[in-house]
Structure 1
Amino acid sequence: MGLTNQSTGTGALKEMFQVDFESPDDIVVALAGNPNTGKSTVFNSLTGLNQHTGNWPGKTVTNAQGKYNHHNKRHILVDLPGTYSLLASSVEEQVARDFICFGNPHATVVVTDATCLERNLNLVLQIIEITDKVVVCVNLMDEAKRKSINIDLKKLSKLLGVPVVGTTARNGEGLELLKDTVSKVASGEIKTNPRKINYDEIIEESIKKVDSDINKLIDNKFNSKWVSLRLIDGDLPLLESMNEYLDSDLTKNELLNKKLKIARDKLKDDGLKIEDLRDRIVSNIIKTAEDIGKDVVRVENKSHNQLDRKIDSILTSRIFGIPIMIVLLGIVFWITIEGANVPSSMLANGLFWIEGQLTELFGWLGTPEWVHSILILGMYRTLAWVISVMLPPMAIFFPLFTLLEDLGYLPRVAFNLDYYFKKACAHGKQALTMCMGFGCNAAGIISCRIIDSPRERLIAIITNNFVPCNGRFPTLIALASIFIASAAGAFSSIVATLTILATIVLGVMITLFISRILSKTILKGLPSSFTLELPPYRKPQIGRVIVRSIFDRTLFVLGRAVAIAAPAGLVIWFMANITVGNASILTHCAQFLDPFANLLGLDGYIMMAFILGMPANEIVIPILIMSYMAKGSILELDNLAEMKQLFIDNGWTWLTAVCTMLFSLNHWPCGTTLWTIRKETQSWKWTWISLLVPTITGIVVCFIVAQGAHLLGLV
């Protein structure tokens, strides 16, 4: 008889977690594990291209599902968020725990790292407390062998009471055995007997006070001992999830509340405060993991990680850590800028060739000129500029960034900057989200999910725009080249690069400064502590890195940009082509803004270019050129010399260029980023704050620089 909705609870699974069943006989497998264990590699190797991603219902946590067939059975593999614990201190941990506990998957695979098994066993022990349908996948066996680490898998299986399979997922080794084992556990062919964690005697006595009553309430649907301990600890998110699953409110059960009070009073009488209970629970789990690790792991070469430590002594040192980070960042930007020139030009030529063909088609069809102008010169041309300028740099930057991530360097960046973010009362992981913002601020906003604290996540979201994305680099590079570096002669490229790096460093400093202000005002609170894992350096999988970065990041962000840029092109066309009196609406708006813009060292046309460039920062310079030349559609000059002369003819000085660069660094987020902020925060309030904070900062900085230069007689 096949597994049915009634026997497995897959009906509730589909309703609560939106798992894509095609048949009631589908086998659902949860994939859990710590970050940096190769969990994503296991997922990708098993499912191939049969996967899709979305968000968990009501959450911003990514939901990845894939399918594979084994022994004529379809298996749905659900990739849970990587987490170190299930004690639900973050949304990711809550999602992983709730799926395992209430989703009733037929089996749960816990991926561990063979090179640091003992640390990963903490999560394994927490999961086998919840469910007995567990398979432990000890991944990266090849790295363990290279480091002379031997693991007795049979003994580990005996000690845990669940099957254990060794794999090297990147090479496909052990995956067939893993699939066989999962099928047998799901079908009940393999009977498991998970190891019980023995807590301190006073904790065990408190559990007994409520265990039998809770078991009646939950109808033996979960491990009553585990639920009892979590409720004694006051795990409110778990209680909310249980209420939803059981369709009843346990908080209103007077008997349960009475028994929980008795259990907590018992702990207090024995000298254990409730606020210290979680630490004691974790200590018991860690001790159990250590005991198991000592029994099954043998390290023949005690100095196996000496090379990693030597590299870390340089990359994370106080003297060399920050300079090396800046140099690497400069190299990544240089490769991105230089490498993007040719494909960007080719892409632009191709897209504008299509524009010519569309123009001929419209002419052949006898389409009215105003329709052609709106659709082609307005919407299509704006889209063409956004794609040709945005796609090549992202297609280069994101793989390079992902390469550093795969190599294991990005956690070292967070380590180097953690001290400074702590001083700013922010989270050390904000360094990683800030780095992602260099490629695209929208992607940086999405990466803020890695920050557990909601308060610190909001700080990271609001300040992410202070680092320039690749859409702002064309403006920064052009102005640095023609107004600052042009006098350096043969060293102009070096001066331009140093100018861009100085701009980036300024952006980081402003990020820290504003983060501190936010943490002392509208987002008050103490910085939370977090465990920063420095994973071993690994040889990156270049092919997988390229595919993952292009499909998961580049095309995802580009899709959002295109969706916003198309209607923006329509607005720009109308403002440039509809006249009131003898001037276009664009000119009237620029003249209105001119007095205010002059105070900031800008002019009205520059301010309008930034406003109309909100959909995508890439089109700021083309809009500015269009405005100065009084043209009706976006265009670009042939070279930087022509651009410099055009700007000078319209009253630009070195101060105008500097203030424009500063305003480019500090102004409202682009439309794609604002859209992403709204989706991530689920709040218009924080979206508006994210718009106002960098804008006010830019106005203040530009005003100080412009008026200071005038007072000192520098212009």
Structure 2
Amino acid sequence: MKSNLASIHSSLNGIVKEAKSAANDDIRDEIVSSIYQMSRAVCAEVVSHKKSVQNHTEKLDRIFTSPIWGFPIMLIMLGAVFYMTIAGANVPSSMLAEGFGWAEAQLTVWFQAMNAPEWLHGVLVLGLFRGTGWVISVMLPPMAIFFPIFALLENYGYLPRVAFNMDRLFKRAGAHGKQSLTMAMGFGCNAAAIMSTRIIESPRERMLAILTNNFVPCNGRWPTLILLASLFMVTGITSTGSTLVTSAVLMGMVLFGIVVTLTVSWVLSKTALKGVPTHYTLELPPFRRPKFWNTVLRASVDKAWNVLKRAVTVAAPASILTWIFANIYIGDTSILMYFVNFLDPFGQALGMDGFIIAAFILGLPANEIVVPILTMAYLSQNAMLELDNLLELKQVFVDHGWTWLTALNMMLFSLLHYPCGTTLINIYKETKSAKWTFMSFIIPTVIAIGVTFIVATVARMFGWVL
């Protein structure tokens, strides 16, 4: 043992002497590598382990963390997750929508038989029931598939490899490698990801992670992205091909969000949050075979169900308020339409309309309720219309002037816009600063407005919109 310690000491002294003329990053990498190699040699003498497990992990790591194959495998994995989510969610979503449409019709008949007041039917059925029904039918199937798959990858040990690969990019952007972990958590919930930034020791780099975490889609925005991509980005394509195209569109959105995250991190690290990134040493855990059914059940209950419960809790009062605003008139115009008409020129400039902007504003408490609010706002102009499936929802959008550009820009705005109310509250709790909380709101909002305005302007300039 003494000879091993002496060997480690002499190796470290030799590395330090040889690396004095090298860059700081190279010095640190060599020291860490030497410590790891010598520690591994010492452990090999005194610790017995299964060679097959160790060799299995090392062989996989040569592939999954390879500078050549690491990123392509990440993209393939991401595309596969999206494909399984979309392919598995389409039929259940349509069935749930049809079920809620049938139940809404039965409730309407019952209210009429009871001679209930029109306003009560409107508030409870057209407002509360319809809004929460659409939240459940649009959100539950994809979340019930996405979260278990994500949990299986996490338990298997692949997500730390993603963090290892992303560390290279964040380091170049002036951020900390651990931001890749907080970003991955943001795919589930941005509010939880803000709290996870506590793992970053440097205050400067932690603030970078907080300000840029919003650019990855959370559970509240996944259903919006999946729904719009499925309805508007696959016109004229076969069912199998449409799922592939939708998966590709979603993957493009995620990659664009990551590019924005790295770009904003780089800009902030050169301006408001100047500094040199600290180093990050990540110990990769061995690959493990996950407990399949236990993981699937836990992810479905703990994540999908809790997300849905939160969405319904927020959607219920928002749906009621939307119906009330749509049915209280000042003169011959409802309060909702005054609001929509005021926002419409701004929305048109961004390739959307006033209804969409109003839905995003009213959906500040939670991203999950943006599409239900938008649907109810459109349907408030024709309360007799009932939606029995997702294709009828597309027809409602088309009747209000939607094109592929409208759907694309709503997806981009949903991806990039300000955090939800819960996330903003968490940002204030973590930073104890109204200034940085406001910055976390204004930075993504300005970027979302700028990106959608540019896309709409370029599309119209080249006549891509009919």
Q: Counterpart of 1:485?
A: 234
Equivalent in the alignment of 2:354: 604
Q: Distance in 2 between matches of 1:636 and 1:536?
A: 52
Q: How does 1:50-129 map to 2 (within 5 A)?
A: none
**Which of the numbers 440, 453, 456 marks the counterpart of 2:205?**
456
* 340, 349, 368: which one aligns with 2:89: 340
Q: Secondary structure at the match of 1:305?
A: helix
1:586 counterpart (336, 349, 356): 336
Deviates more, 1:503-512 or 1:430-439: 430-439
Q: Does 1:658 align with 2:414?
A: no
Which residue pairs with 1:307 in the alignment? 56
Does the CA-based 8 Å contact 2:101-2:388 persist in structure 1?
A: no
Q: Identity rate of aligned residues, in percent?
A: 56
Is 1:522 the equivalent of 2:272?
Answer: yes
Measure how far apart 1:368 and its partner are: 4.1
Paired residue for 1:670? Answer: 420
Within a 5 Å distance, the mapping from 1:566-645 to structure 2 comes to 566-631=316-381, 637-639=387-389, 641-645=391-395
Alignment of 1:250-649 (within 5 A): 297-299=46-48, 305-345=54-94, 368-489=117-238, 491-631=241-381, 637-639=387-389, 641-649=391-399
The Cα shift of 1:325 comes to: 0.8
Q: Which AA in structure 1 matches 2:261?
A: T
Distance 1:574 1:686, change over 3 A: farther
The amino acid across from 2:130 in the alignment is R
Is the 2:418–2:445 Cα contact (8 Å) retained in structure 1? yes
Q: TM-score, normalised by structure 1?
A: 0.54
Name structure 2 gaps, 5 residues minimum: 1-27
Say which SS state the counterpart of residue 508 (structure 1) adopts.
Answer: helix
Q: CA deviation at 1:295?
A: 11
Structure 1 Cα separation of the partners of residues 324 and 285 of structure 2: 53
* Contact 1:597 1:604 (8 Å CA) reproduced: yes
Amino acid at match of 1:305: Q
2:9 paired residue number: none
Residue 541 of structure 1 deviates from its aligned partner by: 1.8
> What's the CA shift for 1:641?
4.8
* CA distances 1:196-241 after superposition (whole Å, capped 9, x unpaired): xxxxxxxxxxxxxxxxxxxxxxxxxxxxxxxxxxxxxxxxxxxxxx
Residue 673 of structure 1 and its aligned partner are, at CA, apart by: 3.4
Query: Comparing 687-696 with 700-709, which one deviates more in the overlay?
Result: 687-696
Q: Displacement of 1:329 after TM fit?
A: 1.2
Pick closer, same or farther for the CA change 1:487–1:395 going to 2, 3 Å: closer
- Identify unmatched segments of 5+ residues in structure 1: 1-278
Given the superposition, is the C-alpha separation of residues 333 and 529 from structure 1 closer, same or farther in structure 2, using an over 3 Å criterion? same
1:681-706 Cα distance to aligned partner (Å, 9 max, x none): 45544433322221111101111122
How far 1:332 sits from its partner (Å)? 1.4
- Say whether the 8 Å CA contact 1:437–1:467 is kept in structure 2: yes
CA distance 1:479–1:355, change in 2 (3 Å): closer
Greater shift in the superposed pair: 534-543 or 378-387:
378-387
Q: Deviations over 1:80-106 (max 9, x none)?
A: xxxxxxxxxxxxxxxxxxxxxxxxxxx
Q: 1:645 to 1:302 in 2, by over 3 A?
A: closer
| Cα contact 2:86–2:142 (8 A) shared by 1 | yes
Q: 1:592 is aligned with what amino acid?
A: F
Contact residue 393 and residue 470 of structure 1 kept, 8 A: no
* Structure ranking higher in helix proportion: 2
**Which whole-Å CA distance do the structure 2 matches of 1:691 and 1:338 have between them?**
34
Contact 1:560 1:672 in 2 (8 A): no
| Residues 135 and 372, structure 2, Cα contact 8 Å, conserved in 1 | no
CA distance in 2, matches of 1:493, 1:523: 41
In the superposition, the TM-score normalised over structure 2's length comes to 0.79
* Aligned-residue RMSD, C-alpha: 3.6
Q: Is the alpha carbon distance of 1:554 and 1:448 closer, same or farther for their aligned partners in structure 2, counting shifts above 3 Å?
A: farther
Query: Taking structure 1 as reference, are residues 687 and 358 closer, same or farther at Cα in structure 2, changes over 3 Å only?
Result: farther
Query: Which is greater in Rg?
Result: 1
- CA deviation vs aligned residue, 1:592-611 (integer Å, no higher than 9, x gap): 11222222122212211222
Distance 1:533 1:641 in 2: 48
Greater RCO, 1 or 2 (C-alpha within 8 Å, sep 6+): 2
Q: Quick check: 2:97–2:389 contact (8 Å CA) kept in 1?
A: no
Distance in 1 between residues matched to 2:209 and 2:201, nearest whole Å = 11
> In the superposition, relative to structure 1, how do residues 339 and 563 fare at CA in structure 2: closer, same or farther (>3 Å)?
same
Instruction: After TM superposition, give the deviation of residue 568 of structure 1 in Å.
Output: 1.8
Q: Is residue 366–residue 421 contact of structure 2 (8 Å, CA) maintained in 1?
A: yes
Deviation string, structure 1 residues 123-181 (Cα, Å, up to 9, x no partner): xxxxxxxxxxxxxxxxxxxxxxxxxxxxxxxxxxxxxxxxxxxxxxxxxxxxxxxxxxx
> In structure 2, how many angstroms separate the alpha carbons of the residues matched to 1:391 and 1:674?
25
Q: What is the aligned partner in structure 1 of residue 17 from structure 2? A: none
**AA at the equivalent of 1:602:** M
- Helix, strand or coil at the partner of 2:269: helix
